[in-house]
Amino acid sequence: MYKIACFDQHEPEVKQILLSILPRGFSLEIASENTLEERIRIARDADFILTGWTAVEKEVLENAKKLKFVQKMGIGYDKIDVSEAKKRGIPVAITAGVNAIPVAEFALMLMLAVYRKLPYVDKNLRQGLWLKNRMRAETRSLFGKTVGILGFGNIGKMLCRLLRPFSARILYYDIFRPSREEEEALGVEYCQNVEKLLASSDVVSVHLPLTNGTRNIINELNISSFKKGAILVNTSRGGVVSEAALYKALTNGTLAGAGIDVFEDEPPSFENPLFALENVVVTPHMAGAVLDNVINVGKHSFENMLKVLDGKPLCTSDVIVAGNALVE
């Protein structure tokens, strides 16, 4: 029997789905609390670690003597100590592409919610204020706008497809440029740098992993490059955007609004200054978290574990640390 240590505390509905698709010969122990001590305890005799938003620290890897593989549910691996995993020859993989649809849907929803000031009007209507006339002057339509996508992986490309009915002009920036044929098929235009993307876009949607190279890629220096009246949507990682610079841009008129699903510290302080702004829509890092997708992410994760056991290669796009695993 192979043991999987699941670090996230899931709701009963999610647990039921994961247990229903658990491969034969595997057991699943789910952490009872979000503490380092609990993670060390359940990983100590585990063959696999399964994690979504919970950290996998050096201390966990040091004590997991049987560990064969770390599987991330999703794509952001910034909370996993990949250096320690590499040192110990432990493979680390993500589930590339599996969250693309729900995250792209969520990014689109945030664009519309910010442009139409949805939380603001909802709150005021519940308090007895009918703001129809006022909102005609203050809200905007997404149709025909220029949308800049910062980070052009699976999620960015899916967002392109969802934006087609809005007749948007779509720009993108990424260090990896797809072929001209793919650009033409998706109907996108390449920007040579971040500043040009910011200056040209009515809406900027961020879809970057958090790395040393992307940390605070939107910062105090370049945030002034934004087109006046633009909005920012971030469904990637909080550290990619400087919250201090963002707050300043939202209060001095550089940005008209923002939709923020991710924060520099999670969960953030309830005194976070962004929470006091009426031109900001905030959500608790939930863009990829839909019940419909649990089975897809779970199956992808378990299939990777079976590949590691069977000596079959993992898909290159999933591999963060090759370790002792085979790679396509």
Q: Do domains 2-98+291-321 and 100-282 have the same CATH topology?
A: yes
Nearest one of 49, 51, 88 to 73, comparing CA atoms: 51
With 90 as the cut, is the pLDDT of residue 219 above it?
Answer: yes
Which pTM was predicted?
0.93
Q: What is the separation of C-alpha 199 from the centre of its chain, rounded to a whole number of angstroms?
A: 24
**The predicted structure's pLDDT at residue 205:** 98
Residue type, 214: T
DSSP 259: E
- Asked if 31 and 39 count as a contact pair (C-beta separation under 8 A), the reply is yes
pLDDT in tens, 120-178: 999 999 999 999 999 999 999 999 999 999 999 999 999 999 999 999 999 999 999 99
Tell me the three state secondary structure of residue 167. Answer: coil
DSSP 155: H
How far is the C-alpha of 64 from the C-alpha of 168, rounded, in Å?
A: 49
**The predicted structure's pLDDT at residue 152:** 97
Confidence of residue 326 (pLDDT cuts 50, 70, 90): confident
Following DSSP, what letter does each residue of 17-49 receive, concatenated?
HHHHTPPTTEEEEE-SSS-HHHHHHHHTT-SEE
The helix or strand, by DSSP H or E, that contains position 303, with its residue range, turns out to be helix 291-310
Residue 115, judged by CB atoms within 10 A of its CB (0-12, 13-18, 19+), counts as buried
Q: Which residues are catalytic?
A: 237, 266, 285
What are the tokens at 252?
Answer: 């001095």
Residue 18, judged by CB atoms within 10 A of its CB (0-12, 13-18, 19+), counts as buried
Q: What is the mean pLDDT of residues 54-58?
A: 97
**The predicted structure's pLDDT at residue 5:** 98
Identify the CATH homologous superfamily for domain 2-98+291-321.
NAD(P)-binding Rossmann-like Domain (3.40.50.720)
Please tell me the class of the 100-282 domain.
alpha beta
**The predicted structure's pLDDT at residue 59:** 98
Give the number of other Cβ atoms within 10 Å of residue 27's Cβ: 13
Tell me the three state secondary structure of residue 86. Answer: helix
> Residue ranges of the alpha helices (H) in the chain?
12-20, 36-43, 58-63, 82-88, 100-115, 118-126, 132-138, 154-163, 180-186, 194-200, 243-251, 291-310
Phi, psi of 242 (to 5 degrees): -70, 120
Instruction: Enumerate the domain spans of the chain.
Output: 2-98+291-321, 100-282
**The predicted structure's pLDDT at residue 328:** 87
**The predicted structure's pLDDT at residue 305:** 98
Q: What average pLDDT is seen over the chain?
A: 96
Nearest one of 171, 165, 220, 161 to 200, comparing CA atoms: 171
